[in-house]
């Protein structure tokens, strides 16, 4: 008899996006005319084409592979040195963070890494996760058997949930209990909140005092515009000994379909064995990569490298500015419509209070039926997201402007 991993049976049915799809489909079938006006501001996926620097680098790499003289087969399991050194130099050392080339691990994106990291972590850790949250952190821990079953509100037994509310600016304080592993994501998806240096210093101090590990998702660091907001957890002194950072080219270089990201794992980060020894997690992580992967395809790595060229950086800047222009238009319109608006300044997500006590799903239906705009109900990101909805700024300018017009014309009182 072959047995399956029963932890998967604890997962809440992939509820959010399938349910959005079902409601949108039903609405479109019943209202074919309105369906033509439909604008999607729901899913967090980019819309604009790739930066030309990345396109030409990928084409050139394919050409290299197509002739004997420059053909290459397997590369380093942890990623090509040409890319790892660019990342370590331009994203870290040039900004005053001492990160070595071999502390960068190139992957097919940070969603994968957020799950893979559990390979090298023990089973007895108490996990703390913010609420609302990117669902990957919770679900991968459920799959790994680190939780009990979910209750009616969708919260899993054994996880410490850290509420992110308007009162704390959507940045939680460290808990008054022992957490061994803490997931943090700033700028945040879905709330768009960023953590200040002082707030991150508190988290590093917590990690030091509790011998905890911070798993820091910085997928949206490129969207930070406010001066003084840290773009990496390693800007905080002491973080190299207690944090792992995940980054992605998905939202910066528009690589959601191309697939490339990386993990930063320092050699100073030590974790415990059950018999009380402290060992570098880097050693296990390196071994995991050697055994389980061959990194990312060569043309994709060359495409990612090109994002660090002067033209590449300028083109990435252009993409981010474009989406953040949408965010400004959408935030202003939602505010003029009388709604409580958060985020949207250092992140491509606008987190909006539902009006007049509507639930997140009631607001979803209202936006769909009255405005023909698809948003994401906040409750889909966790129970603390109830009473909010997320508008994504990943869209064409024309669509963002049209959504803004419809929002301002609507009456929510």
Residue with token string 């061994």: 180
Q: Residue 191 interacts with ligand PLP (CB under 6 A)?
A: no
C-beta atoms surrounding 389 within 10 Å: 29
Residue with token string 């410490």: 160
DSSP structural state of residue 24:
H
Q: Residue 256 interacts with ligand PLP (CB under 6 A)?
A: yes
Q: Residue 263 interacts with ligand PLP (CB under 6 A)?
A: no
Min separation Cβ 320 and ligand PLP, Å:
14
Q: Which of 78, 141, 189, 232 binds ligand PLP (CB under 6 A)?
A: 189
Q: Contact letters (x/-) for ligand PLP, 217-236, by CB under 6 A?
A: x-x-----------------
Residue with token string 């609405």: 27
Q: Which is nearer to ligand PLP, 263 or 266 (CB)?
A: 263
Q: Which is nearer to ligand PLP, 180 or 221 (CB)?
A: 221
Q: Which is nearer to ligand PLP, 75 or 132 (CB)?
A: 132
Q: Residue 248 interacts with ligand PLP (CB under 6 A)?
A: yes
- Using the rule CB under 6 A, give the single segment among 124-132, 243-251, 264-272, 285-293 that binds ligand PLP: 243-251
Residue 147, token pair as written in the block: 């939780």
Contacts (CB under 6 A) with ligand PLP, residues 95-114? 109-111
CA distance 25 to 40: 12
With the C-alpha atoms ordered 170, 171, 173, 175, is the resulting torsion angle positive or negative?
A: positive
Q: Which of 39, 41, 44, 305 binds ligand PLP (CB under 6 A)?
A: 44
Residue 119, token pair as written in the block: 């390979």
Which uninterrupted H or E stretch holds 251?
none
Min separation Cβ 366 and ligand PLP, Å:
25
Q: Which of 141, 250, 295, 379 binds ligand PLP (CB under 6 A)?
A: 250
Contact 271, 278 (CB under 8 A): yes
Residue 255, token pair as written in the block: 């690589």
Q: Contact letters (x/-) for ligand PLP, 121-150, by CB under 6 A?
A: -------------x----------------
CA distance 341 to 275: 50
- Using the rule CB under 6 A, give the single segment among 23-31, 91-99, 206-214, 244-252 that binds ligand PLP: 244-252
Q: Which is nearer to ligand PLP, 79 or 406 (CB)?
A: 79
From the number of C-beta atoms within 10 Å of its C-beta (0-12, 13-18, 19+), residue 145 rates as middle
Min separation Cβ 109 and ligand PLP, Å:
3
Nearest to 283 by CA among 102, 406, 113: 102
Which uninterrupted H or E stretch holds 29?
helix 16-30
- Total residues at interface with ligand PLP (CB under 6 A): 14
CA angle 20, 24, 30 (to 5 degrees): 150
From the number of C-beta atoms within 10 Å of its C-beta (0-12, 13-18, 19+), residue 335 rates as middle
Q: Residue 171 interacts with ligand PLP (CB under 6 A)?
A: no
Q: Which of 185, 207, 229, 242 binds ligand PLP (CB under 6 A)?
A: 185
Min separation Cβ 189 and ligand PLP, Å:
4
Helix 310-336 × helix 397-409 angle, to 10°:
10
CA distance 113 to 117: 6
Q: Which is nearer to ligand PLP, 316 or 337 (CB)?
A: 316
The residue number whose beta carbon is nearest to ligand PLP equals: 109
By the criterion CB under 6 A, which residues form the site for ligand PLP? 44, 109-111, 134, 185, 189, 217, 219, 248, 250-251, 256, 261
């Amino acid at each position: 008899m072959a047995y399956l991993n029963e932890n998967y049976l604890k997962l809440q049915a992939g509820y959010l996006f399938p349910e959005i799809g079902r409601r949108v489909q039903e609405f479109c079938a019943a209202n074919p005319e309105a369906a033509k006006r439909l604008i999607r501001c729901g899913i967090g996926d980019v819309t604009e084409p790739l930066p030309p620097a990345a396109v030409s680098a990928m084409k050139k790499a394919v050409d290299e592979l197509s002739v004997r003289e420059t053909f290459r087969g397997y590369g380093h399991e942890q990623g090509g040195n040409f890319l790892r050194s660019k990342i370590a130099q331009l994203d870290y050392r040039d900004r005053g963070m001492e990160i070595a080339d071999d502390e960068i691990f190139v992957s097919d994106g940070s969603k994968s890494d957020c799950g893979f990291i559990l390979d090298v972590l023990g089973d007895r850790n108490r996990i703390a996760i913010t609420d609302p949250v990117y669902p990957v952190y919770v679900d991968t821990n459920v799959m790994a058997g680190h939780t009990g079953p979910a209750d009616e509100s969708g919260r899993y037994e054994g996880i410490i949930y850290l509420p992110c509310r308007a009162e704390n600016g959507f940045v939680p304080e460290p808990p008054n209990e022992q957490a061994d592993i803490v997931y943090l994501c700033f700028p945040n998806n879905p709330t768009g909140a960023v953590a200040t240096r002082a707030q991150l210093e508190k988290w590093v101090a917590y990690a030091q005092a509790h011998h905890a590990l911070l798993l820091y998702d910085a997928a949206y660091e490129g969207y930070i515009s406010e001066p003084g907001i840290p773009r990496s957890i390693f800007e905080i002194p002491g973080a190299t000994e207690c944090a792992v950072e995940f980054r992605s080219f998905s939202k910066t270089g528009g690589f959601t379909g191309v697939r490339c990201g990386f993990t930063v794992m320092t050699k100073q980060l030590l974790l415990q064995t059950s018999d009380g020894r402290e060992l570098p997690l880097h050693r296990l992580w390196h071994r995991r990569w050697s055994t389980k992967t061959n990194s990312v395809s060569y043309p994709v790595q060359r495409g990612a490298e090109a994002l660090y060229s002067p033209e590449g950086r300028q083109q990435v800047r252009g993409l981010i500015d474009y989406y953040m222009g949408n965010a400004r238009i959408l935030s202003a319109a939602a505010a003029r419509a009388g709604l409580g608006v958060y985020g949207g300044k250092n992140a491509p997500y606008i987190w909006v209070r539902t009006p007049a006590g509507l639930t997140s799903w009631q607001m979803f239906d209202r936006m769909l039926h009255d405005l023909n705009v698809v948003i994401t109900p906040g409750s889909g990101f966790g129970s603390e997201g109830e009473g909010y909805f997320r508008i994504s700024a990943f869209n064409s300018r024309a669509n963002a402007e049209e959504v803004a017009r419809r929002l301002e014309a609507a009456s929510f009182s």
